[in-house]
Amino acid sequence: MFPTPGSRVGRSAFSSPMDKCEIYLTASVTIGGGFVKVPLDTVLYDPSFLFDATAKVIRPRRPGWYNCNGRVRLTGNFAFAAFLGFNGAAVKGLGFDPGSTSNIAAVGSVKYFANGTTDTFELQAFISSLKLLTTGAFDTFLQVEGPY
């Protein structure tokens, strides 16, 4: 039922039924040597308590499709690509083709199904040699929202 125009409706009438979490990198980290997990370490928001700080993963609590947005940024131009990691394996590309030679950042969005109990999301990158990642909520992050 919709509210009558001009009436006030309690906040709970519009609360989101979705889980949501955004984590980003604050520690200075050098990674490389193939497919590697990006060790995101800081929570921007996580009202559903999805972030596992020890494993550096997001663990959805309800089954369904989740929208995942991620970005990886390096301190200089280099061939690399960003991926959504699912249960420890890179499953979907988020950004540039690793054949490029002038990437600074790789960013993208995918939808992926999680079982709501044991499945996890993480940010991964393919970088052939050691490179320094940039830090901050704008530069290197993973957002997960769902289920849809």
Look at residue 5 in the predicted model and tell me its pLDDT.
52
Look at residue 7 in the predicted model and tell me its pLDDT.
45
Look at residue 132 in the predicted model and tell me its pLDDT.
87
Task: Give me the tens of pLDDT residue by residue for the chain, a chain 148 residues long.
Answer: 445 554 444 444 445 678 999 999 999 899 888 889 999 999 999 999 999 999 999 999 999 999 999 999 888 777 788 999 999 999 998 877 555 555 678 889 999 999 999 999 999 998 888 888 888 888 899 999 999 9
Q: Which residue has the tokens 């690793």?
A: 98
Asked if 116 and 62 count as a contact pair (C-beta separation under 8 A), the reply is yes
CATH class of 20-146: mainly beta
Look at residue 138 in the predicted model and tell me its pLDDT.
85
Q: Where are the domains of the chain?
A: 20-146
Residue 24: exposure state from Cβ atoms within 10 A (0-12, 13-18, ≥19): buried
Look at residue 80 in the predicted model and tell me its pLDDT.
83
Look at residue 13 in the predicted model and tell me its pLDDT.
46
CA 118 to chain centre: 17
Q: Which residues contact 75 (CB under 8 A, 6 or more apart)?
A: 131, 132, 133, 134
Look at residue 106 in the predicted model and tell me its pLDDT.
86
